[in-house]
Amino acid sequence: MAAAPARGRLFDRALKPAVFLLSLGPFAYLFWAAVANELGPNPAEALIRSLGEWALRFLCLTLAVTPARVMFNLPRLALLRRMLGLFTYFYALLHLLGYAAFDMGFDWGEIVRDIPKRPFILVGFTAFVLLTPLAATSFNRAIRMMGARRWQQLHRLVYAVAGLVILHFFWMRAGKNDFADVAVYGAILACLLGWRVWRRFAAPRTARRGVMSR
């Protein structure tokens, strides 16, 4: 009888390191591709855009943890949400640094002037600013200091981040009139956020009807 709990603990211990290594995979590949000059004719643009797309993918994965955990009764998935959220920030930070380095040459004065001039950069930078306190408070100590309710209220900013990221992605692709990926990611985020809205408002009504029918 003790074998099953032991296997469960072993699975829990192996799960996070495995996901951590997998999450570093895109960074390792892009680093190798940059060194090996395998990023195509415009490597700087390819690197910046790839990092941004990986930030978006990790945002989708982070938001998918709770629906998957609830719908498929997989409580251990909750162990991954914080890590995936931090990897979202990691790739978003690299995306921003890529823009600052390759597009602007780390000229901070020019960067400050450039951000408000171009709407898609302003929207993306705003999303990054909103994401920063979420990453900074993704620790147990922050939850204890803030209190669970205020912490949850702060982390609802991720919904605004999701909307801003899709708008940033849309404007980036508008120049090439290429919206296929935008539609896919937009649909994924709409489903993930729509599930939360449905659960918040539909679940209490279902519970009330259950109580009244007893």
Tell me the H-state helices in 36-147.
43-71, 78-98, 108-117, 119-136, 140-146
Average pLDDT, the chain: 90
Is the pLDDT assigned to residue 203 strictly greater than 90? no
Distance in angstroms (rounded) separating the CA atoms of residues 196 and 208: 19
Structure token digits, residue 104: 């602007």
Distance in angstroms (rounded) separating the CA atoms of residues 46 and 209: 53
Distance in angstroms (rounded) separating the CA atoms of residues 185 and 59: 10
Question: How buried is residue 78: exposed, middle or buried, by Cβ count under 10 Å (0-12/13-18/19+)?
Answer: exposed
Instruction: Render pLDDT for 108-164 as a digit per residue (tens, 0 to 9).
Output: 999 999 999 999 999 999 999 999 999 999 988 998 999 999 999 999 999 999 999
Distance in angstroms (rounded) separating the CA atoms of residues 95 and 170: 16
